[in-house]
Amino acid sequence: MAVSNNSELTIVLAESSAGAPQMGSELGSRAILNSGLLKALRDHFKQVHICEISAKPSLEEDHDHAGMKRPRTVSKATQSIHELVYSHTQQGRLVLTLGGDHSNAIGTLTATTGAFNSKHDRRPAVICVDAHVSINPPEASPSGNIHGMPLAFATGLATSQEKGIFDWIQQNHLIDMKKMVYIGTRDVDDEERKLIQQNGIKFFDMNDIKKHGIDSVASMALEYVGEQTPIHLSCDIDALDPEWAPSAGHLVPGGLSLQEGELVVRRVHETGNLIAMDLVEVNPTINVDGVERTVNSACALVRGAFGLSV
């Protein structure tokens, strides 16, 4: 049984790179949308709504706080994303958020969880396709960049009571760590590994994928989240091997082939339970010769997740 009406899509252009050490990913959303994807989505859905959120850091006022860089800018951008995604999810629309850096997922993940909690009294599953686990609490983050922390804030493993710094996140926005699965991980910090183990978070790293094959891993991940569970699919383009996505913020060799990535998102589509998708970290200012290839890969993942033909 489908969990949303599947005929209306909201596209959120999350044009903020304040969570990343370098700028450029704020240009990713439009690069992806304007490469033919918008037309394809408009042909596929009865209605397509487009919203945009951008964030300009005011560096002189946004000093570091508790191990976080540009915390007020990122908090404000993600709160705006949260409010948008929350409202569109509550109206039964599918939501596609195009980043921007990975910190934007703080807004999307808390929004779908909050909306489903308030309307249906149940929390969605979250499938993260990422080279990283992106769950560093600020105090353990080696860099202080919030794009390494989205799952820490979205699960409540990291919290902040400081005014203007993620103080908008409420208990009923927090994702269920028992319904969370990572696919494609291969670059995990020691502290993150501890958190994953302590909290029993499921993951399928690249070794698991080599061992079992991507089709079995997709089956195991979907079986884990359960048949009637709404799914928020959160994709960092760096899950793909740099061969397929060279214009990404943090390249890690040994990743998924595009074909493997497409298989995962299509399997999620086939459940009929997809409620939202994030696609983050496409950065058109990195490896400019590879931008077209990266954008094409991003589009292929979006098309697969929403069941568009290839």
Q: Rounded to 5 degrees, what angle do the CA atoms 3, 173, 69 make?
A: 125
Exposure string over 59-96, b if 16+ CB within 10 A, otherwise e:
eeebeebebbbbbbbbbbbbbbbbebbbebbeeebbbb
Do 232 and 109 meet the contact criterion of CB atoms below 8 Å apart? yes
Q: Under the criterion CB under 5 A, does residue 132 sit at the interface with Mn ion? A: yes
> Which residue, 174 or 256, is less far from Mn ion as judged by CB?
256
How far CA 70 is from CA of 101, 148, 224, in Å, comes to 13, 13, 36
In the complex, least distance from residue 248 CB atom to Mn ion, rounded to whole angstroms: 8
In the complex, least distance from residue 237 CB atom to Mn ion, rounded to whole angstroms: 8
In the complex, least distance from residue 242 CB atom to Mn ion, rounded to whole angstroms: 12
> Which residue, 26 or 130, is less far from Mn ion as judged by CB?
130
| Residues near 149 by beta carbon (within 8 Å), at least 6 away in sequence | 19, 68, 103, 106, 134, 135, 136, 137, 138, 141, 158
- Interface residue with Mn ion, options 15, 26, 192, 238 (CB under 5 A): 238
Strands (E), the chain: 8-15, 47-54, 94-99, 125-129, 180-185, 202-205, 231-236, 274-280
Select from 8-16, 25-33, 188-196, 234-242 the region that touches Mn ion (CB under 5 A): 234-242
Fill in the per-residue mask, 14 to 43: x = in contact with Mn ion (CB under 5 A), - = not in contact.
Answer: ------------------------------
In the complex, least distance from residue 238 CB atom to Mn ion, rounded to whole angstroms: 4
> Which residue, 8 or 208, is less far from Mn ion as judged by CB?
208
> Which residue, 85 or 131, is less far from Mn ion as judged by CB?
131
| Residues near 45 by beta carbon (within 8 Å), at least 6 away in sequence | 7, 8, 9, 94
* Total residues in contact with Mn ion, by rule CB under 5 A: 5
In the complex, least distance from residue 148 CB atom to Mn ion, rounded to whole angstroms: 8
Measured over all CA atoms, what is the biggest interatomic distance in the chain, rounded to whole angstroms? 51
- Interface residue with Mn ion, options 236, 241, 260, 278 (CB under 5 A): 236
Select from 53-61, 119-127, 136-144, 238-246 the region that touches Mn ion (CB under 5 A): 238-246
In the complex, least distance from residue 254 CB atom to Mn ion, rounded to whole angstroms: 13
Residues 174, 170: Cα–Cα separation, whole Å: 7
> Which residue, 11 or 128, is less far from Mn ion as judged by CB?
128
> How distant is the alpha carbon of residue 159 from its chain centre?
19
Select from 38-46, 167-175, 236-244, 296-304 the region that touches Mn ion (CB under 5 A): 236-244
Within 63-122, which residues bind Mn ion (CB under 5 A)? none
> Which residue, 238 or 241, is less far from Mn ion as judged by CB?
238
Within 154-183, which residues bind Mn ion (CB under 5 A)? none
Name the residue type at position 8: E
Select from 129-137, 156-164, 174-182, 293-301 the region that touches Mn ion (CB under 5 A): 129-137
How far CA 132 is from CA of 62, 79, 128, 148, 167, in Å, comes to 26, 23, 9, 8, 25
Given the rule CB under 5 A, which residues bind Mn ion?
Answer: 130-132, 236, 238
